[in-house]
Amino acid sequence: MYLMKTKKTAALLGLCLLFALGLLLALFPSPARGQTVMGQYEEEAPLGTWNLFGASGASSLGRGAALFAPCAADASAIFTNPALAARLQGLTLSVGGGIHSASMFRYGPVNTGPISSADNLSATVFALDLAAVTWNVKGWVVGLGAALTEIYDRPYVEAGSAAYNALFTFSQEGFLRVWNISLGRELLPGLSLGLGFNLVSGRRTWEMNDSWNPPARAVIITDERSRELSGRFLNGGLLWRLSERVSLAAAFRTAFRLYGPSRSLLRYRAPAAGTDILIEAEGEDEIRRPGVVGVGVSWALRNNLKILGEAGWWNWSSYTATSFGEEQPRAFRDTWRAGAAVEYKSSIRLFGRDFLIPSSLGLIYDRQPMENPRSSYIGYTLGTGIHRKGFRLDMGSVFGFENGSGRRLVARRLAVTLTVRTRPRGSGE
C-alpha cells in the first residue's frame, strides 16, 4: 500500500525527484563496475560469518568454536545438540556475553553506491547473548534458554562536503533471537538423543539521510526501512560414547522460514520552497534459511588432555530472500566448515582450595556461500577458565581472517560464560 502526501502538483514531484537525482550524481562519483558486487555483507548477512548454528558458550568457542563436537560444558548445548545436555547432572544454569566485531568493505551504500572508502570499516557490538538452564530429572534432561544468535549491525557512516554544506549518513542495526525448549535422554548405555523446538524473532532497521544545505535552498532526503522477522525450527542430535575416552556426536537443524512485515519511508523536503513529499510503503519479507547437519568427535588421550574435531554442512544453495515481495538475487553455493582443537587441563591451589584450569587452542576453516567473490575464513581460537565443583567461569575467543575478496576482512569474538550447577560433574566432561 502506498500513500503520498504533497503540497505541490505531480509535476512538481517529478521535478524535485529529478533535481535530487542530479544532485547525487553531481556530488558523488558513480561506482566502478567492480564495486557493484556486494560480496559477503548483503543487507541480511549476519556479522562475522554466514555459517552460524545455534549459540555456543565461551568453552565451546575456545575449543575450535565447536558447534558439533561432543564437548558440552554448559547449558548452551541445548541450542546446538540437546543430546549433549544429557551429560549435565542436576540443575545447570549458564549465562554469557561478550564482544562481536567484524570488518567489512562493501555494505549498504559504502563502496557500492555514493560513498567510497579506501579502508575496511569495523562494527563492534557488546551483548549479553545467552541464558540457558537444564534440569536432569530421573534421566530426562529438560532445557530452556534464549540466545542472541545473529547480529546485523553495520559500521555507522557519516560523510560530507564543506564546499556544498552537504552531509550523508547511513546506519543499520538488527538482531535475531532464539527461544529454545528441549528434551534429552540417555536411551541406551552410552547413547543419548535430544530434540529442541525453537522460536525465532528479530528485526532490522536501515536508514540513509542526504542533506544539501546552501543558504535558503536546503534539501533533505531521507530513506528509512524496517523489518520484523519471526520463524520456528527444530534442532537435535545424538551423543554416542564409544568408549571411556572416545565420543561421537551428530547434530542437525531443519530448514526454516523467516518472515514478517516490512515498511519503508522515502521523504523529500525543501523547506524554503514549502515542499514536503512523503512516500510510505508496506510489504512482506521472507527469507528461507538452509538446513544444517554436522558431526564431531572427541578423544581423551589422557585424563587431562583431549583433542576434538568436527565438520558441518550448510545447504545454502536452497537459500532465497524476498524484500517487499520482490525476490533478491542471491547466487549461493552449499558450504562446509571444519574445526579441530586440543585442550589441556591443569590444577592450581588458591586460598587453600584446588581449582581446575583448562587451556585450549583451535583452528577453523569456514567457507562462505557467495559465488562472487568466493571467499573463506581461517580462524584461530583460544580458551581458558577456572573451575571448582559446581562453579565454572570460561573465556573463549576466535579470530577469523578472510581470503578471497581481496580485502582481508576480519571477524572476531570474545565470550565469557558463567555456569553454576547443583551437582558437580567429573573431570571427564
197-226 tens-digit pLDDT: 999 999 999 999 998 876 667 899 999 999
Q: Judge whether 363 lies within some domain.
A: yes
Taking only the tens place, the pLDDT of each residue in 37-81 is 678 999 999 999 999 999 989 999 999 999 999 987 799 999 999
Q: Is residue 13 part of a domain?
A: yes
Of 76-85, 120-129, 153-162, 339-348, the range with the lowest mean pLDDT is 153-162
Any domain includes 270: no
User: Has residue 293 got a pLDDT over 50?
Assistant: yes
What's the rounded mean pLDDT across residues 130-144? 94
252 belongs to a structural domain: yes
- Across 189-218, where does the E strand assignment appear? 191-212
Q: Is residue 376 part of a domain?
A: yes
* Rounded Cα gap, residues 198 and 142, in angstroms: 14
Segment 167-188 mean pLDDT: 95
329-369 confidence digits (pLDDT tens): 898 999 999 999 999 999 998 888 899 999 999 999 999 99
Residues forming a β-bridge with 231: 200
More confident residue, 27 or 365: 365
Position 37 scores a pLDDT of 61
**How far is it, in rounded angstroms, from Cα 59 to Cα 382?**
9
* Tens digit of each residue's pLDDT (9 = 90 or more) over 257-271: 999 999 999 999 988
Note if the bond before 46 is cis, omega within 30 degrees.
no
- The percentage of residues in the chain with a pLDDT greater than 90, rounded to a whole number, is 74
Query: What does the pLDDT average to over 104-132?
Result: 93
Instruction: Tell me which H or E stretch contains 366.
Output: strand 353-367
Distance (Å, rounded) from C-alpha 253 to C-alpha 54?
A: 9
Residue 297 has pLDDT above 90, yes or no: yes
Single-letter amino acid code for the residue at 205: T
Question: Which residues 6+ apart lie within 8 Å of 133 measured at CB?
Answer: 75, 91, 92, 93, 94, 143, 144, 145
Look over the chain and give the mean of its residue pLDDT values, rounded to a whole number: 88
Q: Residue 162: pLDDT band by 50, 70, 90 thresholds?
A: low
Res 236 pLDDT > 80 = yes
Do strands 2-5 and 275-289 pair parallel, antiparallel, or not at all (unpaired)?
Answer: antiparallel
What is the grid cell recorded at 407?
Answer: 580485502
Q: In a 3-state reduction of DSSP, which class is residue 96?
A: strand
3-state secondary structure of 18: helix
Q: Is the pLDDT of residue 429 over 70?
A: no
Asked if residue 33 belongs to a domain, the reply is yes
More confident residue, 150 or 115: 150
Please give the share of the chain, as a percent, with pLDDT higher than 70: 88
What is the reported pLDDT for 163? 67
State how far the Cα of 48 lies from the Cα of 412, in Å rounded to an integer. 7
Q: What is the pLDDT of residue 73?
A: 77
Beta bridge partners of 3: 280
- At 394 the three-state DSSP class reads strand
Kindly tell me if the per-residue pLDDT of 27 is higher than 50. Answer: no
**Do 270 and 221 touch, CB atoms closer than 8 A?**
no
Q: What is residue 199's predicted lDDT score, i.e. its pLDDT?
A: 98
| Domain count of the fold of the chain | 1
Q: What is the CATH number of the domain that holds 127?
A: 2.40.160.60
Expressed as residue numbers, the domain containing 398 is 2-154+172-199+232-256+288-421
Single pTM value for the model: 0.87
Identify the band that residue 184 occupies on the pLDDT scale cut at 50, 70 and 90. very high
What is d(CA 231, CA 260) in angstroms, rounded to the nearest whole number? 9
Domain presence at residue 93: yes
- Identity of the amino acid at 54: G
- Considering only CA atoms, give the Rg of the chain: 25
pLDDT at position 215 is: 63
**pLDDT at res. 216:** 65
Structural domain includes residue 163: no
> With contact defined as beta carbons under 8 Å apart, do 58 and 395 qualify?
yes
Instruction: Give yes or no for residue 18 having a pLDDT over 60.
Output: no
